[in-house]
Amino acid sequence: MKRQTYSPRSGVYYHIFVPFFRDGNGDGVGDLRGIIQTLDYFNDGKGGGLGVKGLWLSPVHPSPSYHKYDITDFYAIDPAFGTMEDFETLVAEANKRGIGIVLDLIFNCSSHLHPWFLKAQEDASSPEAGYYYLDGSEDARYLDRDAVWNELPAWHFPEKGRGYIGIYSEVMPDFNFNSPALREECLKIARFWLKKGVSGFRLDSAMHLFSTAEVEEGVSHHAKNVAWWREFRTECRRLRPDVFLVGEVWDTPAVRALYYGGLDSSFHFYLGDGIAAFLEGKEDAAQFAKRMENSCLAASLIDPAYTDSPFLSNHDMLRYAEEHPDKDKLKQAAAIYLTMEGTPFIYYGEELGMHAAKEDTCPYFPAYDYLGRARTAFDWGEEEGMCGARFQKGYLSPSLKEQKQDRGSLYRFYERLIRLRNADRALTHGRFSPLPCPDPRVLSYALEYGAARTEVYHNAGSSPFPLPLGGDAVDLMTGEHIPTAQSRRALPPGHSAIVCYG
């Protein structure tokens, strides 16, 4: 099957964990006003800023937790983050700058304090009771009472009320997607936010709406999930044909590929690990390139118009720079994932090389939450706008203010690389194909889009690498063209380059 050379989604996206990004009202908590104030940081619409084309916001709905993944109202904005008017202003101002807003949707579960769940526990005959897997209900008849998911019990039995499934936590009861009424409610939620102007949705736990603990023996939970996402995508496209649906499918390339039957894109989990293994000499370039090629081919067999979403780390992982702190290798890691096909996602602060925190005294954040180590305050380099705990200079990374003044900083590298990517049709829209290379420490591949072709080379070795003489070569580390001398053009060790044709 021939893979299409057009990706329906282009540009670089930025993942904001809202409560720790930018405080717009001085209460110590990041909010929508803070994001509005900093839209020019991403893209001012005039060629300035990072050049970002989209923002993925962590959940903004009312919730008792700091992370907001246990929602009590899917149609509202958490007061800690602002108002619905603030959200509408954010969408409008972002769109003026060519920035789309992708909203985090959590359909796997609700909060145990959601009115639907409270009603379900109160009245077994209510429609809301069908929204959950409650002990004794028809849809729970096949389910294993002793099921364990991710080392946690799937079933929970409160002192009062009926037992229920919550694969993530006892405070996050799972939705029952066998319920037509619940599915229609989820479509209604999507319609509501699409009419507010969002460009798409990041779909949390996309492969666990039906988990292995929630289907009868012999039934594929993947097939049931994909069938739902196909239904969901059809409705979203009816309202917005260019909607962008990117799913969290934390699994192998083969499983990720299955979900292209219902989603536009999925995050490329384990890519960051592969990049680190290559840069640190634990895997050779050919192995890395082959795994990337196989991932692309698997996706194309399901949907030739698929969009990959490469990234280094996210809010559910230890920050990439915490495990791989070498500044030069951070630049080269960025050079790799930002020159891959698809729609790359930057986790907030990754462009600063932010490390995970050892502790956080912010009262909005429980210190015992190990995931919270990666969810720390963005360092603006000034008191205004800072969220939560104030860190000593350089504790997590040099601040944005410092890095803006340093032409050799990681931030300046991201800024230059994204602009270069945006200006290159093959990098923006092209498909990946590996290039043969005899040096195991040089990763090389091409991206093609129509007549445009860009070759990419990453030299992780200790010797200069001879680049091809054709095309226009640019050293990504310096931003300068690589000259040809005595019929030779060399890429220094630790450097990456692109060679553009057409």
Specify the 3-state DSSP secondary structure of 404: helix
Q: Count CA within 13 A, CB hemisphere, residue 317.
A: 18
Helices (H), 350-422: 400-404, 410-422
Specify the 3-state DSSP secondary structure of 184: helix
Round to whole Å and give the CA distance between 7 and 124: 47
Q: Do the Cβ atoms of 319 and 350 come closer than 8 Å?
A: yes
Contacts of 270 by beta carbon, 8 Å cutoff, 6+ apart = none
Q: Which amino acid, residue 38?
A: T
Round to whole Å and give the CA distance between 485 and 299: 42
Q: Quickly count: other Cβ atoms within 10 Å of residue 158's Cβ.
A: 11
Q: Do the Cβ atoms of 455 and 289 come closer than 8 Å?
A: no
Residue whose tokens read 């988990």: 211
Does an H or E element contain 276, and which? helix 271-279
Token digits for 307? 């969009």
- Phi, psi dihedrals of residue 325, rounded to the nearest 5°: -80, -10
* Active-site hit among 23, 86, 104, 248: 248
User: Is 248 a known active-site residue?
Assistant: yes
Give, as one character, the DSSP assignment of residue 485.
Answer: B
User: Is 475 a known active-site residue?
Assistant: no
Q: Quickly count: other Cβ atoms within 10 Å of residue 187's Cβ.
A: 17
* Active-site hit among 23, 31, 174, 204: 204
Does an H or E element contain 275, and which? helix 271-279
Closest by CA to 302, choosing from 203, 186, 199, 222, is: 222
Contacts of 356 by beta carbon, 8 Å cutoff, 6+ apart = 318, 319, 322, 373, 374, 376, 396
Closest by CA to 42, choosing from 15, 65, 82, 24, is: 15
Q: Quickly count: other Cβ atoms within 10 Å of residue 363's Cβ.
A: 12
Token digits for 5? 């050379």
Catalytic annotation, residues? 204, 248
